[in-house]
Chain A
Amino acid sequence: MIEVNQISKQVETSEGSLRILDNINLSVQNGETLAIVGASGSGKSTLLGILAGLDLPSSGSVSINGEDITAMDEEGRAAVRAGHVGFVFQSFHLLPGLTALENVALPLELQGVADALRTAEHYLERVGLAARVGHYPRQLSGGEQQRVALARAFACRPTILFADEPTGNLDTGTGGKINDLLFALNEEEGTTLVLVTHEKTLAARCSRTLELQGGRQLDAANTNTAGRGA
């Protein structure tokens, strides 16, 4: 469960102080899916980073499973991430020197999972890339790369998955398939999903939506009446 309490984010720039996030409140229950929507530059990625403990708010607090991560030190937050959190990024962020299989296996190896490679292979099968395990990222298309990234994120069995515009770099057709895969895996694994997107249709598939505008919450995180599509 994620609990966000009045967070704001302010940065100092050469043109003076800039308020990126302004007094955000929300809570996400286990197993829920939350969409954060808004125009480009509205502060979505910044908010996601803070929720995941990769960044700190200027004020306010965030707790994950009852633990206040804003009060922890870097090491503490890292430990929380190691136990609970997975990521998918807009620009995939696969390591170019590793094969698809090794990319998926790396976080498992870090956790000391015994049969990291076998687990990784299993997840690659699940995203439909069984035939491409030995390929390097540069030999894969954008959609395939993002599928590897999905496999990597789910292979660690996170309780919360943060996805920042996972289909932003892909064409509509491919993007749609990635989204289907994301929601399917999420369903199977029972993960809590926080998804940043600027597509209303995608947001509609989540149980709730939070809309940002210029760093402000437009209204309290709504329960999505449209329900979880499909």
Chain B
Amino acid sequence: MLALKMLWRSWRGGQLGLIFAALVLAVAVVTSVALLAERVERALVSESSVFLAADLVIRSSKPANPEWLQRAAEEGVRTARTVSFASMTYQGDEMHLASVKAVESGYPLRGTLKRSQIPFATEAADIESVSYGPAPGELWVDSRLLPLLSIELGDAIELGDGSFKVSQILIEEPDSGSSFSSMLGARILMNWQDLDQAGVIQPGSRVTYRLLLADGEGFASYVDWLKQQLSIHERVITPDEAQASIASTMDRGRRFLLLAGSIGVVLAGIALALASHHFASGQILQVALLKSWGTSASRVRSLYLQQIILLGTIGSLIGLFVGWSFHQLLISVVREWLPIALPTAGPRPWITGMATGMLCLAGFTLPALWHLPAQSPLAVLRRDTPIKAFNAIVRGFLGVLAVALLLVWYSNNVILALAILLGFALTAASSIGVGLLLLRLGKTYGHWMGSIWRLALSNLWRRKKPSLIQMVGFSGAIALLMIMVVVRTSLIDEWRWQLADDSPNHFIVNVAAYELDGVKQLIDDRKLETAGWYSMVRGRITQLKDLPPEDVVAEGHESLRREINLSWTRDLPEGNSIVDGQWWDDSVPSNSDSQNSDSQSSNLAPVSLEVDIAAELGLKLGDKIRFSVGGLEFDAVITSTRSLNWDNMTPNFYFLFPEGYLEEYPRTHMTSLYVPAEEKLLVNDLLRHYPTLQVVELDKIIDRIRTIVSQVTRGLEMMTLLILGCGILVMFAAVSLSMEERLKESAILRTLGSSRRLILGVQWVEFSTLGLMAGLLAALGAEFAVAMLQRFMFQQEFVWHPWLWLVGPLVGGLLVGILGVAYSRKAVTQPPLQVLNSL
């Protein structure tokens, strides 16, 4: 096969080195990024299943229909039932209203329970992970239940009608959830079979049943079937909903991985474009000869097409292997940061890698060679130096098309692809336009500078075409790296609070006015600080839309069954945003002026509802709600709905009023504070002194969030490093583009007796000038792309990044200058003839 022979000879002759390296690199980077991203993504998904202890949960106030369980068993779907409720526990004189959960033996379907024989254990060595719950007759309990009931491990306590042995300390349950109501009272985990003996669940008692579901061949079809059986009493909970507090972190983490991978794709494209350019220049003579011997243009093309297909296949396969090894290496390096065992990847990363190789060759290498046979062989053969006349516009278009296709396929995200492409196009276009101008200016005013500068700047101008191509390569690579670093930095900044060691992890709710000083004193005694106190009143909903609530919400709703917190504020709380309607501004009269007038009864209080609760209660703007607070009733009208921010652990209120409507009712107080593990007994002190307090413990959840966020952060860092390395390699390819000619010229200068200083000086000035201009133009493109990404993809505020405009040119100049000089050192360290002969 002639094509194979030609390819082998080109390889042996060294002409394929750059393009092959670029191809392998491109495929390797994309494959490793895609593999890593997919595995991390899958790990994140399975991590979120852990939050549910299942892949899907059906929550209900009623027990699960036996038919569902039977069908699940038939379909091979694993199930486990749990039920949670509040119940009094006793031991001697002590008692505590505990938050009990009874679990079937399959529980947890996902994730593990952490238990210990030592109360308040924090050392990993003392904690054991198990994938089953307590045996019948046993209880696993929260550490703080022991001092609350004055018991030791192994003692028996009374729960309902039964007496059970406390056999283990429960350190962590996977599905501890983030809903406040589930966190009141010390947790007790018991076996489902003991429910009857305890007799705690009576008709009418407030309990929550959960049916946990996971895997099995028929999982998907079973879930489809099950969803049709559900009534309004049941609610389906997906892993994403189970972790609202970190969902957006995860989501942005994923988007960043996608961004990094896409940038890898584009960098790979640039590398291949540069290498193809280099390769095509080297083929001009051969094509001219083939043509002079009477080989038809179509035959020449077919010969090259075959070579490219061969090259693409071999290079891509090697690239896949290198990419795989590289991602293994990365994983092994950061193993300790990735405690979750990474699931294996599907076929998609491999396809992506292979497609990158083939499409980039088709988009860059093929067009670079395609027109060669159309060139007059005479023009080539008669001149001693091969000419380079390419249809840059068509080629650029084809290349961009290839990268665009890859980007869209890779990211499945048009905005991302568009931002990157537009940012890059802006950089490239300005590189050509502004670059030409700057080069011209440099040449014109270089005359006034020293000989090195004069020579260097006029060289750049003389070689303006390759100089511009290099500049597009440099600026493109720098811009893409900037985009990534900026987005990474802003994301990590945003997550900083989640990583902060002292963000609030406990809420103290329902503190009566007369208790306030005492509670503050207890907190002070332990030298802890609160995040400030909030006031609220407790009330009930007695009418919806002038009807009894039962008539509106047939099934009833949590907020209708118990007292709810009503609060007031003038300004929209930070992190809340209006979904519908209008926030009251200063023009809305507060109630205080008209309080005592006759019009009070007709004066409806405006109220702002959390958007989900409004939907669950079937309410919309303008609907009326009647509240009862301390026996007094008043009506309110919904003027706005809000979405809350669950990312930060500040108090969130479902019902908010303007100032002046609630102040005269008896109020209670709440706060949030950070309680370190060693001060955890504060919770017991508080509850013992003030039994009506509610303490919401979020410390375990926050620890989990912190772990996950730091894992995601590490993942991003790893990716950033990988892509940075890739970017530097692209710049290396760009530097080597003009090296042959430069070395030749340097060797000739050397034969003429030029000093090392002059030769390297010229190279330094040329390259650092190119790098400096590239860095400047890259800042422009990066700023634009980042603005687009932050606006449309990460939902962040647009901010200028002045440092880009400084760091870009500086780093660009230094990096490119150093690379260039390092590359051209050969010209001064070896005798000129050796240099010339080696070219």
- Interface stretch (choices B30-38, B142-150, B293-301): B293-301
Residues A54 and B292 in contact, CB atoms below 8 Å apart: yes
Give A97 to B292 CA distance when docked, in angstroms: 19
Say if the beta carbon of B377 comes within 8 Å of chain A: yes
Residues B13 and A93 in contact, CB atoms below 8 Å apart: no
Residues on B with beta carbons closer than 8 Å to the beta carbon of A156 = 293
Bitwise interface map of B from 1 to 41 toward A, beta carbon under 8 Å scored 1, else 0: 01001000110111100000000000000000000000000
Residues B9 and A93 in contact, CB atoms below 8 Å apart: no
A interface bracket (residues with beta carbon within 8 Å of B):
20 to 34
Residues A78 and B289 in contact, CB atoms below 8 Å apart: no
Residues on A with beta carbons closer than 8 Å to the beta carbon of B15 = 97
Give A55 to B9 CA distance when docked, in angstroms: 30
B interface bracket (residues with beta carbon within 8 Å of A):
20 to 34
- Interface stretch (choices B255-263, B378-386, B710-718): B378-386
Bitwise interface map of A from 9 to 38 toward B, beta carbon under 8 Å scored 1, else 0: 000000000000000000000000000000
Residues A78 and B294 in contact, CB atoms below 8 Å apart: yes
How far in angstroms is the closest Cβ of chain A from B303? 9
Write the chain A residue with the least CB distance to B13: A97
How far in angstroms is the closest Cβ of chain A from B327? 35
Residues B377 and A107 in contact, CB atoms below 8 Å apart: no
Residues on B with beta carbons closer than 8 Å to the beta carbon of A107 = 289, 293
Residues A97 and B293 in contact, CB atoms below 8 Å apart: no
Residues A109 and B2 in contact, CB atoms below 8 Å apart: yes
Give A98 to B9 CA distance when docked, in angstroms: 7
Residues A87 and B292 in contact, CB atoms below 8 Å apart: yes
Residues A109 and B296 in contact, CB atoms below 8 Å apart: no
How far in angstroms is the closest Cβ of chain A from B13? 2
Residues A75 and B296 in contact, CB atoms below 8 Å apart: yes
Residues B381 and A89 in contact, CB atoms below 8 Å apart: yes
Say if the beta carbon of A102 comes within 8 Å of chain B: yes
Say if the beta carbon of A219 comes within 8 Å of chain B: no
Give A75 to B15 CA distance when docked, in angstroms: 29
Given A54-B376, A95-B285; A81-B294 close (CB under 8 Å): yes
Say if the beta carbon of B245 comes within 8 Å of chain A: no
Give A95 to B386 CA distance when docked, in angstroms: 12
Residues on B with beta carbons closer than 8 Å to the beta carbon of A102 = 9
Residues A110 and B13 in contact, CB atoms below 8 Å apart: no
Write the chain B residue with the least CB distance to A49: B378
Residues A81 and B293 in contact, CB atoms below 8 Å apart: yes
Residues B295 and A97 in contact, CB atoms below 8 Å apart: no
Interface residues of A in 47-94 (CB under 8 A from B): 49, 52, 54-55, 74-75, 78-83, 85, 87, 89, 91, 93
Say if the beta carbon of A138 comes within 8 Å of chain B: yes
Bitwise interface map of B from 272 to 298 toward A, beta carbon under 8 Å scored 1, else 0: 000000000000011011111111111
Residues B376 and A110 in contact, CB atoms below 8 Å apart: no
Bitwise interface map of B from 742 to 768 toward A, beta carbon under 8 Å scored 1, else 0: 000000000000000000000000000
Residues B9 and A80 in contact, CB atoms below 8 Å apart: no
Write the chain B residue with the least CB distance to A112: B2
Write the chain A residue with the least CB distance to B380: A93
Given A49-B382, A54-B377, A55-B378; A78-B295 close (CB under 8 Å): yes
Give A82 to B381 CA distance when docked, in angstroms: 17
Write the chain B residue with the least CB distance to A53: B294
- The residue from A45, A79, A81 contacting B292, defined by CB atoms under 8 A apart: A81
Say if the beta carbon of B837 comes within 8 Å of chain A: yes
How far in angstroms is the closest Cβ of chain A from B382? 6
Given A93-B285, A95-B286, A97-B14; A54-B378 close (CB under 8 Å): yes
Given A55-B378, A74-B297, A82-B293; A97-B5 close (CB under 8 Å): no
Write the chain B residue with the least CB distance to A107: B293
Say if the beta carbon of A227 comes within 8 Å of chain B: no
Residues B9 and A110 in contact, CB atoms below 8 Å apart: no
- The residue from A55, A74, A96, A110 contacting B293, defined by CB atoms under 8 A apart: A110
Give A102 to B294 CA distance when docked, in angstroms: 18
Residues B289 and A138 in contact, CB atoms below 8 Å apart: no
Give A196 to B540 CA distance when docked, in angstroms: 108
Given A49-B382, A54-B378; A93-B289 close (CB under 8 Å): yes
Write the chain A residue with the least CB distance to B385: A91
Residues on A with beta carbons closer than 8 Å to the beta carbon of B12 = 97
Residues on A with beta carbons closer than 8 Å to the beta carbon of B376 = 54-55
Residues A96 and B13 in contact, CB atoms below 8 Å apart: yes
Give A141 to B295 CA distance when docked, in angstroms: 29
Residues B384 and A91 in contact, CB atoms below 8 Å apart: yes
Give A80 to B291 CA distance when docked, in angstroms: 11
How far in angstroms is the closest Cβ of chain B from A139? 9
Residues on A with beta carbons closer than 8 Å to the beta carbon of B296 = 74-75, 78-79
Residues on B with beta carbons closer than 8 Å to the beta carbon of A45 = 382
Give A110 to B295 CA distance when docked, in angstroms: 8
Residues on B with beta carbons closer than 8 Å to the beta carbon of A89 = 381
Write the chain A residue with the least CB distance to B288: A93
Residues on B with beta carbons closer than 8 Å to the beta carbon of A110 = 2, 290, 293, 295
Most buried by B among A54, A75, A107: A54
Give A95 to B290 CA distance when docked, in angstroms: 11
How far in angstroms is the closest Cβ of chain B from A128? 23
Residues on B with beta carbons closer than 8 Å to the beta carbon of A98 = 9, 13
Give A123 to B621 CA distance when docked, in angstroms: 96
Residues B294 and A80 in contact, CB atoms below 8 Å apart: yes
- The residue from B5, B13, B294, B837 contacting A109, defined by CB atoms under 8 A apart: B5
- The residue from A85, A91, A106, A164 contacting B294, defined by CB atoms under 8 A apart: A85
Interface residues of A in 90-125 (CB under 8 A from B): 91, 93, 95-98, 102, 106-107, 109-110
Give A107 to B378 CA distance when docked, in angstroms: 17
Bitwise interface map of B from 332 to 376 toward A, beta carbon under 8 Å scored 1, else 0: 000000000000000000000000000000000000000000001
Residues on B with beta carbons closer than 8 Å to the beta carbon of A109 = 2, 5
Residues B378 and A97 in contact, CB atoms below 8 Å apart: no
- The residue from A82, A83, A87, A96 contacting B295, defined by CB atoms under 8 A apart: A82
Residues on A with beta carbons closer than 8 Å to the beta carbon of B837 = 138
How far in angstroms is the closest Cβ of chain A from B375? 11
Write the chain A residue with the least CB distance to B303: A110
Residues on B with beta carbons closer than 8 Å to the beta carbon of A106 = 289
Give A156 to B118 CA distance when docked, in angstroms: 92
Write the chain A residue with the least CB distance to B299: A110
How far in angstroms is the closest Cβ of chain B from A79? 6
Residues B381 and A97 in contact, CB atoms below 8 Å apart: no
Give A138 to B378 CA distance when docked, in angstroms: 23
How far in angstroms is the closest Cβ of chain A from B5? 7
Residues on A with beta carbons closer than 8 Å to the beta carbon of B10 = 97
Give A79 to B384 CA distance when docked, in angstroms: 26
How far in angstroms is the closest Cβ of chain B from A175? 18
Residues on A with beta carbons closer than 8 Å to the beta carbon of B2 = 109-110
- The residue from A75, A82, A95, A164 contacting B289, defined by CB atoms under 8 A apart: A95
Interface residues of A in 163-190 (CB under 8 A from B): 164
Residues on B with beta carbons closer than 8 Å to the beta carbon of A78 = 291, 294-297
Residues on B with beta carbons closer than 8 Å to the beta carbon of A97 = 9-10, 12-15
Residues on B with beta carbons closer than 8 Å to the beta carbon of A95 = 13, 285-286, 289
How far in angstroms is the closest Cβ of chain A from B280? 15
Residues A79 and B378 in contact, CB atoms below 8 Å apart: no
Give A138 to B14 CA distance when docked, in angstroms: 14
Interface residues of B in 781-839 (CB under 8 A from A): 837
How far in angstroms is the closest Cβ of chain A from B134? 75
Give A79 to B299 CA distance when docked, in angstroms: 11
Residues on B with beta carbons closer than 8 Å to the beta carbon of A93 = 285, 288-289, 381
Residues A75 and B293 in contact, CB atoms below 8 Å apart: no
Give A98 to B14 CA distance when docked, in angstroms: 11
Residues on A with beta carbons closer than 8 Å to the beta carbon of B293 = 81-82, 85, 87, 107, 110, 156
Q: Which 6 A-B pairs have the closest CB atoms?
A: A97-B13, A82-B294, A81-B294, A54-B378, A49-B378, A107-B293
| 9 A/B residue pairs, CB under 8 Å, sorted by A | A49-B382, A54-B291, A78-B294, A83-B294, A93-B381, A96-B13, A98-B9, A98-B13, A110-B295
Q: With A55-B378, A97-B9 given, can you name 8 additional A-B contacts, CB distance below 8 Å?
A: A52-B292, A54-B377, A54-B378, A78-B294, A80-B294, A106-B289, A107-B289, A110-B295
B residues contacting A by CB (< 8 A) are 2, 5, 9-10, 12-15, 285-286, 288-298, 376-378, 381-382, 384, 837
